[in-house]
Copies of this chain bind each other. A is one copy, B any other.
């Protein structure tokens, strides 16, 4: 047998993934049972079990107690995206990061914001607008609402020297959140700030984070025309 010995569940998982991607095991096919795979891979049955469970969790395998395990008929590709602080994203490209605070005020937000953040419609929130620059060119425009009843320290921070994007990372705990990717046409004001034609298509990230039941912050980040978020499959 030419198959090398597999020492851990991750290496078993890699080999199973390879067979699925290579269509040696096709969508809908039954795969060999765990005992046979353990024999083939020269490892414990529990190691095979651990690998197959992980692949079932990620939607690539369908496991039925009696019927056996099949390759999912409609496998879902998982793309894992790294969402870094904007400063790091720019510096990792070897470019020079700078930052400009454009507005900072405590004000009652639009109802779409208070509704999304589950705050009272007349509660003021801290609003921040800031421009992130790469080699002095506009890179990303950040519009953010901070719930100062959850993050009181933000009241004393000017955000002149450090962006909310970075400051919150260190000072605002969160338990869970949501991230949404979309495309937005640049408004007249956005295009003036971002130095791009009006109606340019801007890649957009909306992020809302929660600490237990309370919204911490809601941010919309518009990236300049041509921005790409890329990852391996």
- A: residues with CB less than 8 A from B are 18, 21-24, 26-27, 59, 74-85, 88, 169-185, 199-204, 207, 209, 211, 225-233
Picked from B23, B185, B230, the residue with its CB within 8 Å of the CB of A200 is B185
Question: Which residue of B has the minimal Cβ distance to A230?
Answer: B180
> B182 and A229: CB pair below 8 A?
yes
Assuming the A-B contacts A79-B81, A80-B78, A84-B74, are A23 and B173 also in contact, with contact meaning beta carbons closer than 8 angstroms in the complex? yes
Write 23 A-B pairs (CB below 8 A) sorted by A numbering. Answer: A18-B175, A21-B175, A21-B176, A23-B171, A27-B170, A75-B169, A77-B84, A78-B83, A81-B81, A176-B233, A177-B233, A178-B232, A179-B232, A181-B181, A181-B203, A181-B228, A181-B229, A182-B226, A182-B229, A184-B201, A201-B202, A207-B233, A209-B233
Best-surrounded residue of A74, A200, A204 (most CB of chain B within 10 A): A74
What 11 additional pairs, Cβ within 8 angstroms, besides A79-B83, A185-B185, A185-B200?
A: A22-B175, A23-B171, A23-B173, A78-B80, A80-B81, A176-B233, A177-B233, A182-B227, A182-B228, A185-B199, A199-B199
Integer count of this chain's copies in the complex: 2
Least CB distance from A72 to B in Å reads: 10
Q: Which B residues are in CB contact (< 8 Å) with A80?
A: 78-81
> A85 and B79: CB pair below 8 A?
no
